[in-house]
A and B are shown apart, each in its own frame.
Chain A
Amino acid sequence: MPTNMRNTNAEPTPQMASAGVILNGRYLPPPADSDGKLWVRTSTLIHADPLALYERWRNLEKVPTWQEQIERVTVTGERTSHWVMRSGDKTMEWDSEILADEPGRRIAWRSIGGESENAGEVIFERSPGGRATMVTVLQEFRMAKLASAWETIVGRNPKQAIIENLRHFKALAETGEIPRTAGQPHGPRGTIAGVKKSLYGEKLPTPPGEDRKAG
């Protein structure tokens, strides 16, 4: 298209966007699962400053306040941390290393030993027109000991867990809390209540949100 036909309101055509969403102005689909490696790419629009969102994500020891089933994160070095995940009575531990750390823009990481094999990045960028921040997570992982087929049925599918964690992150950033219903009153539940609870994704504890005790 000749340049003089370009609408003056259009953004400059993005040549490359992070997380591989755009290349030379064209949308690219997320990477496909292969050889036991699973990919998730998910994004959300948050009304907050990219730098504030970066700082919230980068505050690793606070991760248990918004990520499901993460019991504890201990910072062990400038770029390293130790993660403990609990599902029911099982725990899983691994170490993680930050590969890229660009304040207000991007954090990339990978696991470096332990019981989980994962790598990922999170990108913070102004949405077109700049009214909010688009947060995109690209994560790859292999099924580990917690993610048996049964557990993905009764618990949270691990791909969905990444989507839910980003949703919790957004809710916490925009409102200061994560919506929850566990603990509210109800009448007698039926015989298949447990199955329904799993189906609705209500079996996992909602992360506690800010400045409250985990659990």
Chain B
Amino acid sequence: MKALCWMGTGKVEVHNVSDPSILNPHDAIIRVTRTAICGSDLHLFDGFIPTMEEGDVLGHEFMGIVEEVGSEVSNLKRDDRVVVPFTIACGNCEFCKKNIWSACDNTNPNAHLMEAAYGYSGSGLFGYSHMMGGYAGGQAQYVRVPFANIGPLKIENDLPDEKVLFLSDIFPTGYMAAENAQIQENDVVAVWGCGPVGQFAIASAFMFGAARVIAIDRYPERLELARSLGAVTVDYAEEDVSVLTALKDLTGGIGPDSCIDAVGMEAHSTQLQGMYDNVKTALMLETDRPVVLRQAIQAVRKGGTVSIPGVYGGLLDKVPFGAAFGKGITMKMGQTNMHSYMKPLLGRIEKGEIDPTYIISHRITLEEAPEMYKVWRDKQQKVTKIVIDPWA
């Protein structure tokens, strides 16, 4: 089959690789009908995530048709249409039972690597480094899905793939970000980053009752999408714009009730501190560039909540913890507990409350994917979301 492989920092290639096979009794093999490039794939592309290996198959947002199931999979059969969550969960451990699915104890074969770095290991993820399990991803024609008895969501309607594909990651991720933001009716919410997760965080913030959402980014196409949802936008790159001042001006001086950092470790900044983080990460004195996180902690109102769906990987420098303590804020974060959200959010799509396709800007073939990784990283061609048909 054809698969998109990580071949080093800044290098992805399409290769002919062997077809996946059933390796465990709860496995299924899926013929991938649609997959997407995630913003977090760009962290891999940029070499920000350790323990990648040349030849690793990328991709954690995908859906398709069940081709084959293992001996212990009874809920799925050949030809079922499914969306697959990017986190792999067993359904039986302490954490799955507590609905903290992304912390599953039993799905990361390389848990010891994450234990060394984080104390404990989270669940395995598709196509996202050996530390996260080393599972082959879904930017390919076929993919092996472990614990298929627990994860995949059956799609039993005739909605097109594109409408349900984002249930594999970014819609639930944006939704959990809004839930983690502890939004009360008529709150004001600020969202940094209007990429796909930021978009769904904005849409979800309104679902939770936010009266005003302030969306912060620098790319006109993304800000336009945010305004189309009803958000007020702040272009942080515009001359004379200070995000902190803007957020005071737009909240009567008290700051947003909730701040959502949908950017993560590779934030850009026009200010001096952006340069400071670039230098420190280049010298490996810091692994992440927490410009947005710093701002969110500064900006949030007293007693407010900072929610972090943006990915962080390692050590952060100069995080204003005194401000966090001084204002008595709450911070919530983490990989998405996918399995709790997929079904209810499918319901919202079916009822027409949201059409997730509005973020798609590019529809491409697998062969075009390597080029499009570069295009998206360099923020050219007004990319907002890239969907791949691996059979085109």
Bound form: Cα–Cα A188–B108 in Å? 23
Query: Is B55 a contact of A184 with CB atoms below 8 Å?
Result: no
Quick one: given A189-B53, A190-B53, are A175 and B92 in contact (CB under 8 Å)?
Answer: yes
B148 CB, nearest partner CB in chain A, Å: 12
Cβ 8 A contact of A185, one of B57, B72, B124? B57
Number of A residues contacting the other chain (C-beta, 8 Å)?
A: 35
Q: Which residues of B contact A182 (CB under 8 A)?
A: 23
A185 CB, nearest partner CB in chain B, Å: 4
Q: Which residues of A contact B140 (CB under 8 A)?
A: 185
* Segment touching A, from B127-135, B192-200, B299-307: B127-135
- A163 CB-CB contact with B under 8 Å: yes
- A118 CB-CB contact with B under 8 Å: no
Bound form: Cα–Cα A16–B347 in Å? 53
* Segment touching B, from A26-34, A49-57, A98-106, A199-207: A199-207
Q: Which residues of A contact B21 (CB under 8 A)?
A: 183
Q: Which residues of B contact A45 (CB under 8 A)?
A: 94
Inter-chain CB contacts under 8 Å: number:
124
- A37 CB-CB contact with B under 8 Å: no
Q: Which residues of A contact B112 (CB under 8 A)?
A: 160, 163-164, 201
Query: Is B92 a contact of A179 with CB atoms below 8 Å?
Result: no
Give the nearest-CB partner of B115 in chain A: A163
Query: Is B92 a contact of A174 with CB atoms below 8 Å?
Result: yes
- B385 CB-CB contact with A under 8 Å: no
A164 CB, nearest partner CB in chain B, Å: 7
Q: Which residues of B contact A212 (CB under 8 A)?
A: 25
Residues of B102-128 at the interface with A, using a CB-CB cut-off of 8 Å, are 105-113, 124
Query: Is A184 a contact of B130 with CB atoms below 8 Å?
Result: no
B interface, over-half SS:
loop
* Segment touching A, from B1-9, B153-161, B177-185, B349-357: B1-9
Q: Which residues of B contact A197 (CB under 8 A)?
A: 53
- B80 CB-CB contact with A under 8 Å: no
Cβ 8 A contact of A179, one of B8, B17, B24, B136? B24
Q: Which residues of B contact A164 (CB under 8 A)?
A: 112
Bound form: Cα–Cα A132–B90 in Å? 16
Bound form: Cα–Cα A189–B130 in Å? 14
| Interface size of B as a range | 35 or more
Quick one: given A47-B97, A176-B26, A186-B57, are A181 and B3 in contact (CB under 8 Å)?
Answer: no
A2 CB, nearest partner CB in chain B, Å: 34
Query: Is A177 a contact of B134 with CB atoms below 8 Å?
Result: no
Cβ 8 A contact of A187, one of B57, B90, B92, B105? B57
Query: Is B106 a contact of A171 with CB atoms below 8 Å?
Result: yes
The 28 listed contacts between A and B (C-beta, < 8 Å) are A47-B92, A163-B112, A170-B93, A170-B106, A174-B90, A174-B92, A175-B26, A175-B90, A175-B92, A176-B25, A176-B72, A177-B26, A179-B109, A179-B124, A179-B146, A180-B109, A183-B23, A184-B20, A184-B135, A185-B1, A186-B5, A187-B5, A188-B7, A189-B55, A196-B53, A200-B53, A202-B109, A209-B24
Given A185-B3, A193-B53, 6 other A-B residues pairs in contact with their CB atoms under 8 A: A47-B97, A177-B25, A178-B109, A184-B144, A185-B20, A200-B53
Residues of A that sit less than 8 Å from B by CB = 45, 47, 132, 160, 163-164, 167, 170-171, 174-190, 193, 196-197, 200-202, 206, 209, 212
A-B pairs with the 9 shortest C-beta distances? A187-B5, A190-B54, A187-B55, A187-B15, A185-B17, A186-B55, A174-B92, A171-B106, A200-B130
Residues of B that sit less than 8 Å from A by CB = 1, 3, 5, 7-8, 13, 15, 17-21, 23-26, 51, 53-57, 72, 90-94, 97, 105-113, 124, 130-131, 133-136, 140, 144, 146-147
